[in-house]
Amino acid sequence: MRVLEAREIGHGILVEHDGYISPEDNKAIISEMKGTDFDGEIYMHAILQKYNTPNRNGRIYPETILRRENERYQEIIKKGCSISELNHPESSLIDLDRASHIITETWWDGNRLIGKLKLLTSPAYIKEGVISCVGDMAANLLRQGVTLGISSRGVGSLTKKGEYNEVQEDFELICFDLVSSPSTPGSYLFRENENADSVDEKGEMVESSNGEEDKLTKSLSMMSKLDSFLKV
């Protein structure tokens, strides 16, 4: 089974690159990560998906389907199996060697599915700064100011509906991966004590005037190099 490209219809793996994690919006947690007394428990929030909203891949997820899949995903969370990866692989299977985080809970805020995730860091990284797993790599990218996003991966069919493609009833949600170039408008990571109000009414990130676009360009370049490294 292959990954369907943007604007393509048919049956396959649906990969949605949905938003960005701005280092500017996560200064506090990143500062804590650099502290000597940091215990390695890194929890963040993110907008995971939106229903009835066209994403950058030209797809719409109907409310009934996304709500159904979120309900099913609760059982996966309860079993401690809600593992996700750093960057989307071209597969419907989750590779434990690439596991970077686990989703601990999800809830609805209007048409937005919000999630809480925990980065799977190792004692070696927390104590010595040694990167020994993919979770460490994700934490280090954030620590170095790299902008990350979080994005859904699933399997299902798409049919044409007007100018967009609509996700069909056979859709099955797999996970929510950390990515470099997301596609659901406004899917950002933010600290546990922050909220999603830093995005505008269209779901787009509110840009600052301090060179955020330059940071994003650098982040995408770094994530491209990371993707090549993970595929070795």
pLDDT tens, residue by residue, 146-173: 777 888 999 999 999 999 999 999 999 9
The C-alpha torsion from 35 through 148 and 14 to 105, rounded to 10°, is: 40
Specify if 2 maps to a domain: no
Specify if 166 maps to a domain: yes
pLDDT recorded at residue 192: 60
Tokens of 87: 């960057």
Specify if 151 maps to a domain: yes
- Residue 125 to residue 37: CA distance in whole angstroms: 13
Specify if 164 maps to a domain: yes
- Does 194 have pLDDT greater than 60? no
Specify if 109 maps to a domain: yes
Digit-coded pLDDT (tens) for 89-107:
777 888 888 999 999 999 9
Specify if 1 maps to a domain: no
Q: CB of 67 within 8 A of CB of 51? A: yes
CB atoms within 10 A of CB 181: 17
Q: What is the pTM of this model?
A: 0.73
**Higher-confidence residue: 208 or 149?**
149
pLDDT recorded at residue 38: 57
Can you say how many angstroms the Cα of residue 101 is from the centroid of all Cα atoms in its chain?
10
**Higher-confidence residue: 175 or 124?**
175
Q: List the 112-119 sheet strands across, edge first.
A: 83-85, 99-109, 112-119, 43-50, 189-191
Specify if 45 maps to a domain: yes
For 145, the enclosing helix (H) or strand (E) is none
Q: Provide the angle, in degrees to the nearest 10, between the axes of the packed helices 212-230 and 134-143.
A: 160
pLDDT recorded at residue 205: 38
Question: What average pLDDT score do residues 60-82 get?
Answer: 97
Specify if 198 maps to a domain: yes
User: What range does the domain containing 112 cover?
Assistant: 10-230
Query: Strand, helix or coil at 199?
Result: strand
- Residue 111 to residue 172: CA distance in whole angstroms: 19
Total domain count for the chain? 1
For 153, the enclosing helix (H) or strand (E) is strand 149-161
Strand 59-60, strand 164-167: pairing: parallel
